[in-house]
Amino acid sequence: MRLKTFPGGIHPHDEKHYSAAAAISEFPPPARVQIHLSQHIGAPSAPIVAVGDEVKKGQKIAEATGFVSIPAHASISGKVSKIAKMLHPTGISSLAIEILSDGKNEMIELIDDPNYLELDIAEMKERIGAAGICGMGGAGFPTLVKLSPPEGTKIDTVILNGVECEPYLTSDYRLMLERGQEIIQGLKLIMKIVGARQGVIGIEANKPDAIASMEKLVASEKNIFVQPLKLRYPQGAEKQLIFAATRRKVPAGGLPMAVGVVVQNVATAFAIYEAIRYKKPLIERVISVTGKVVNKPMNLLAPIGTLFSELLDYCGGAKEAVGKAISGGPMMGFALPSLEAGMSKGSSGLVLFDEKAAHKMQEHNCIRCSRCVDVCPMNLIPTIIANAVKYKNLDEAVNAGLNDCIKCGSCAYVCPAQIPLVQYIDTGKIRYAEEQRKSK
């Protein structure tokens, strides 16, 4: 098995043993859901329902407000009880639609199109857009936009991201084991839409059974293959995955299409398959509920908008006091002030730590060891950027590569002085974005 990788990065303990063996379980319809209108990069969707309206599962309840936007759909049947700001999985408050279940779980009518692979590209894209699909690996970029490169752009390769390099998370791993054929069909659809001649499925070496399973499924395919990858974080980041799988280097500030590549998460490919074949909206996803303090770590197929607190209860609750709850993975996820937030389309995991593991380390002075430089996958000098932000010199931070940082957290992970480098950089990104908005 030839293993490829990228320069830089780290190898944190993957901690996947908690939930890796847990087959996907279907979460029962919750009593209520909170469907956020900002589950994606771009303009928030706009409500098309009012408080008191009765809705069916799969019914559109909010529409896209631009090209870089997506619609939202009810994930249960019931009554719209509230349209207001609610706690978002990123830890902030944002506008959401709350639906109270009527207990019927009544679904809109779907189809089963046996000729879905032969549909014309315009119809495929229409179904993807109508389904409200965005990237499910965490970034949340609207999928229709990603599959609509500018005219004249040549895409020859589609890479499916089955890396799942974040510690603890196993939702994509289980999806590859249990829904592999559907994922591959989704890959074929993506390849047809963008006109790519080859498909690559990137999977890290700590998932040998997923590699074997997917290799078996594509054995008869001439233009699709599995690329085993060396265990290294953040190999699931687009630019790092592209380099590892193809040796192509995306230019600073550029997009994957600049080197003829489109990258999609395996869960997104599965959602694309369901949208094109069945006209099924993205109303549910697999999420890992895991960590040392969880009584029964699980991978749950749950309706979008299900409260994190209900997911934890379904997994038997916590064995001891929870010190920190994270939406997503521990490296790039978001700390939650409360579990009373509804999961989004990008919620790949709920990771819980005990109080000892959540203890905040004391920050010390930088010792100029350069470990952060050694591991940075973007070839940046994180200390220069962080110090510029700390002393409110945004111009210097930008010149040092503030906007090129992918916030993977590798620098902070290896820092012996416990400097929260990625938090400083993230603060800088927020301040810079605010300045840019004010200047327009």
The pLDDT, as a whole number, for residue 254 is: 87
Residues 347, 404 share a domain: no
- Rounded Cα–Cα distance for residues 147 and 280 (Å): 18
Judged against a pLDDT cut of 80, whether residue 125 lies above it is answered with yes
The structure tokens 């995955």 sit at 241
Q: In sequence order, which ranges of 307-351 are alpha helices (DSSP H)? A: 308-314
The answer to the question of residue 59 being in a domain is: no
- Rounded Cα–Cα distance for residues 124 and 418 (Å): 49
> The pTM is what?
0.94
Residues 382, 298 share a domain: no
Band of the pLDDT at 21, cuts 50, 70, 90?
Answer: very high
pLDDT tens for 171-180 read: 999 999 999 9
Residues 162, 13 share a domain: yes
- Rounded Cα–Cα distance for residues 54 and 62 (Å): 14
Q: How many domains does the chain have?
A: 2
- Rounded Cα–Cα distance for residues 413 and 399 (Å): 24
Query: Could you count the other beta carbons within 10 Å of the beta carbon of residue 272?
Result: 28
Q: Are 165 and 202 in contact (CB under 8 A)?
A: no
Residues 124, 3 share a domain: yes
CATH number, domain of 335, equals 3.40.50.11540
Q: Are 54 and 78 in contact (CB under 8 A)?
A: yes
The pLDDT, as a whole number, for residue 413 is: 93
* Domain of residue 429, residue span: 371-439
The pLDDT, as a whole number, for residue 242 is: 97
- Rounded Cα–Cα distance for residues 169 and 328 (Å): 8
Handedness of CA 334, 14, 343, 281 (dihedral sign): positive
Residues 350, 415 share a domain: no
Judged against a pLDDT cut of 70, whether residue 94 lies above it is answered with yes
The answer to the question of residue 312 being in a domain is: yes
Among residues 359, 392, 407, which one ends one of the domains?
A: 359
What mean pLDDT comes out for the span 66-81?
A: 95
pLDDT tens for 192-226 read: 999 999 999 999 999 999 999 999 999 999 999 99
What mean pLDDT comes out for the span 410-438?
A: 89
349 to 64, 149, 164, 321: CA distances (angstroms): 26, 30, 11, 19
The answer to the question of residue 40 being in a domain is: no
Residues 270, 382 share a domain: no
Q: With residue 343 as reference, give the H or E element that holds it.
A: none
The answer to the question of residue 69 being in a domain is: no
The answer to the question of residue 303 being in a domain is: yes
Judged against a pLDDT cut of 90, whether residue 368 lies above it is answered with yes
